[in-house]
C-alpha cells in the first residue's frame, strides 16, 4: 500500500472557500432528510410483521433486507454517480421509494414484502448516494468539518422525530397503510427541491463533462491502495460498529444489571450527539481533526469500560450521555477526514464508501456481537469494543499531517 498516488491535474476544480449555508447546500440537506425519513418510518415494522402473522426469524430477515441491499449495491453505483449527474439519480431514487411505499399497502406475504424491501433498499441507496455526491460538490475542504457536522445532525433528526409522529398518528385513527402513504407524499417533496436546485445552476460538473467526472477503474483501484484512505474508512467502520453494538444489545444487557428501561440511555445519547455537534461543529474546522478523532475514539473506548462496570441505573444512563459526546465528535470528524484526504475526483466516491462503512457496522455488529455474547457474555463484548476503539483511536495518529 502507498500513502497517496501521484497527484495529477484534476478536471474538476476545487470548491472555492465560501459560505457553507448556500441555497444548494440547504436544499440538498432537506432532500437528505426526506430520504432518511424513509428508514425512520419503519421503526415499528418488525412489530407490524409479527402482528400480520410473519414468523419472527423471517420478520428479522425482512427488516434487515433493506440495509443488506444498500450494503451490496452501493459499491457498484457509487462510481457512476458524481456531482455533475446526481440530480437525475436523486429523482430516480425518490420515484422508486414512492412506489415502494405504496407497495407495502398491497400485501403481507413474506415473498411479496421481500421484493418490496429489496426494491425499497435499492431506491433508497440510489437516492442517498446521489444526494451525498451532489452535496460533496458544494462543500469547500475548509468547511468540511462544519458541513459533515450539519449532515450528521440531520442524520439523527428523522429517528428522533418520525417515531413520535407515527405513534401520534396511529393513536388518532390512522392505519399503518395511511402512514406509508403519508411517507410517500412527503418523499414527493424532493421533486420541487430538485427543480429549484436545477434552476440555480449549481452543479459543480456540467452534463457535458459528466463522463470526465466519473472515476476510472484505475483511479478507484489506486484509491484503495492508499493506506491513509483505508485507515480513515476503517476508523468510520469502528465508530459505527461500536454504535451498532450498543443499539442492538443494550435492550438485552440492561436487565442483566437490573435496568429494565433502557430508552433514557438512547434519549440521552441522542441529545448529547446533537448537542455537541450544534455547539462544536464550527470548531471541527479550526481544531486538528486527527487529534479530535483520536481523543473521541479513546473516550468512547473508556466509556465502554464504564458501561461494562456500571451496576446502577443512574451511572448506566450517564454512560449513554457520555458515549453520545464521543460519537458526536468522532462521526462527523471522521467523515471530514475522509473528504479532505480524497482526491477531488474521488471525494463523492469516498464519502459514499464512508456510508458503506456505516452499513458494514450495522451488519457486523449484531453478527459478531451475537457470537461473543452467546459464548462469553456482555462484559467480554464491551471490553473487546473498548480495546478496538482505543487501538483505532491511536492508529488515527498515523494520519497526522495529512489532513
Residues 144 and 259 in one domain: no
Residue at 359 is within a domain: yes
Cα 326 versus chain centre, distance: 16
Dihedral sign of CA atoms 342, 346, 350, 352 in order: positive
d(CA 10, CA 254): 52
Give which of 238, 232, 259, 220 is closest to 334, Cα–Cα: 232
Give a yes or no: residue 18 inside a domain: no
Enter the C-alpha cell of residue 344.
477531488
Specify the 3-state DSSP secondary structure of 377.
Answer: coil
**Do 31 and 67 belong to one domain?**
yes
Cβ-contact 134, 97 below 8 angstroms: no
Share of residues in the chain with pLDDT > 90 (%):
48
Say what the alpha-carbon torsion angle 229, 235, 241, 244 is, to the nearest 10 degrees.
Answer: -100
The whole-angstrom separation of Cα 183 and Cα 107 is 18
Q: Domain span at residue 273? A: 220-399
Predicted confidence (pLDDT) per residue in 295-312, tens digit: 999 999 999 999 999 988
Tell me the pLDDT band of 34, cut-offs 50, 70 and 90.
Answer: very high
Q: Of 214, 229, 254, which closes a domain? A: 214
Report pTM.
0.76
Question: Looking at 197, 214, 231, which one is the last position of a domain?
Answer: 214
Same domain, 83 and 165: yes
CATH of the domain at 233: 1.20.1250.20
DSSP assignment of 290-356, as one string? HHHHHHHHHHHHHHHHHHHH--SHHHHHHHHHHHHHHHHHHHHHHHHHHHHHS-GGGHHHHHHHHHH
Q: In Å, how far are 36, 184, 236, 240, 308 from 354, measured between CA atoms?
A: 16, 27, 7, 10, 29
Same domain membership, residue 188 and residue 230: no
Looking at residue 207, its pLDDT comes to 42
The DSSP code for 189 is T
How many whole angstroms separate alpha carbon 142 and alpha carbon 3? 22
Instruction: Please tell me whether residues 157 and 274 are part of one structural domain.
Output: no
For the segment 352-361, the average pLDDT, to the nearest whole number, is 87
Band of residue 186 on the pLDDT scale cut at 50, 70, 90: very high
Number of domains in the chain: 2
Q: Report the pLDDT averaged over residues 7-14.
A: 39
Same domain, 233 and 164: no
User: Do residue 258 and residue 297 come from a single domain?
Assistant: yes
Q: Look at residue 6 in the predicted model and tell me its pLDDT.
A: 43
Q: How confident is the model at residue 252 (pLDDT cuts 50, 70, 90)?
A: confident
Judge contact between 246 and 369, C-beta under 8 A: no
Check whether residue 92 and residue 234 sit in a common domain.
no
pLDDT class for 19, splitting at 50, 70, 90?
low
Let me know: does 227 contact 3? Beta carbons within 8 Å. Answer: yes
In a domain? residue 375: yes
The whole-number pLDDT of residue 164 equals 82
Structural domain includes residue 10: no
Is 182 part of a structural domain of the chain?
A: yes
Final residue of a structural domain among 174, 197, 214: 214
| Residue 2 phi, psi (nearest 5) | -115, 160
Residue 243: is its pLDDT beyond 50?
Answer: yes
267 and 146, same domain (yes or no): no
- Inside any domain, residue 8: no
What pLDDT sits at residue 199? 83
201 and 131 inside one domain: yes
> Does 297 reside within a domain?
yes
Any domain includes 4: no
Q: Note the pLDDT of residue 98.
A: 98
pLDDT-derived band at 213, boundaries 50, 70, 90: low
Select the more confidently predicted residue: 341 or 23: 341
Mark whether 256 and 192 lie in a shared domain.
no
What's the rounded mean pLDDT across residues 285-292? 88
What's the confidence (pLDDT) of residue 201?
Answer: 58
Residue 136's pLDDT band (cuts 50, 70, 90): confident
DSSP class of residue 50? H
354 and 369, same domain (yes or no): yes
Amino acid at each position: 500500500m502507498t500513502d497517496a498516488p501521484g497527484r495529477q491535474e484534476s478536471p474538476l476544480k476545487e470548491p472555492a472557500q465560501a459560505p457553507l449555508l448556500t441555497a444548494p447546500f440547504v436544499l440538498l440537506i432537506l432532500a437528505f432528510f426526506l430520504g432518511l425519513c424513509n428508514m425512520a418510518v419503519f421503526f415499528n415494522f418488525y412489530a407490524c410483521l409479527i402482528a400480520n402473522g410473519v414468523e419472527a426469524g423471517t420478520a428479522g430477515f425482512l427488516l434487515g433486507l433493506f440495509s443488506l441491499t444498500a450494503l451490496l449495491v452501493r459499491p457498484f453505483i457509487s462510481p457512476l454517480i458524481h456531482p455533475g449527474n446526481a440530480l437525475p439519480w436523486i429523482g430516480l431514487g425518490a420515484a422508486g421509494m414512492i412506489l415502494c411505499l405504496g407497495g407495502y399497502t398491497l400485501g403481507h406475504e413474506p415473498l411479496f414484502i421481500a421484493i418490496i424491501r429489496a426494491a425499497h433498499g435499492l431506491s433508497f441507496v440510489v437516492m442517498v448516494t446521489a444526494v451525498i455526491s451532489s452535496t460533496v460538490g458544494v462543500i469547500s475542504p475548509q468547511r468540511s468539518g462544519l458541513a459533515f457536522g450539519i449532515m450528521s445532525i440531520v442524520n439523527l433528526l428523522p429517528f428522533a422525530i418520525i417515531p413520535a409522529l407515527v405513534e401520534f398518528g396511529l393513536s388518532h385513527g390512522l392505519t399503518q397503510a395511511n402512514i406509508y402513504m403519508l411517507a410517500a407524499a412527503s418523499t414527493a417533496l424532493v421533486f420541487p427541491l430538485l427543480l429549484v436546485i436545477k434552476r440555480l445552476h449549481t452543479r459543480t460538473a456540467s452534463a457535458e463533462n459528466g463522463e470526465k467526472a466519473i472515476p476510472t477503474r484505475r483511479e478507484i483501484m489506486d484509491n484503495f491502495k492508499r493506506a491513509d484512505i483505508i485507515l480513515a474508512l476503517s476508523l468510520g467502520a469502528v465508530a459505527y460498529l461500536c454504535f451498532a453494538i450498543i443499539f442492538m444489545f443494550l435492550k438485552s444487557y440492561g436487565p442483566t444489571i437490573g435496568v429494565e428501561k433502557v430508552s433514557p440511555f438512547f434519549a440521552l445519547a441522542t441529545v448529547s450527539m446533537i448537542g455537541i455537534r450544534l455547539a462544536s461543529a464550527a470548531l471541527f474546522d479550526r481544531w486538528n481533526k486527527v487529534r479530535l478523532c483520536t481523543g473521541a475514539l479513546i473516550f468512547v473506548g473508556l466509556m465502554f469500560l464504564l458501561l461494562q462496570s456500571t451496576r446502577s441505573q443512574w451511572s448506566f444512563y450517564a454512560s449513554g450521555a457520555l458515549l453520545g459526546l464521543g460519537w458526536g465528535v468522532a462521526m462527523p470528524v471522521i467523515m471530514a477526514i475522509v473528504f479532505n484526504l480524497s482526491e477531488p475526483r474521488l471525494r463523492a466516491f469516498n464519502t459514499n464508501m464512508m456510508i458503506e462503512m456505516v452499513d458494514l457496522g450495522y451488519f457486523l455488529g449484531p453478527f459478531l456481537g451475537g457470537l461473543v455474547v452467546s459464548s462469553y457474555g456482555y462484559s467480554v463484548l464491551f471490553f473487546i469494543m473498548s480495546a478496538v476503539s482505543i487501538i483505532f483511536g491511536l492508529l488515527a495518529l498515523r494520519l497526522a499531517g495529512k489532513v
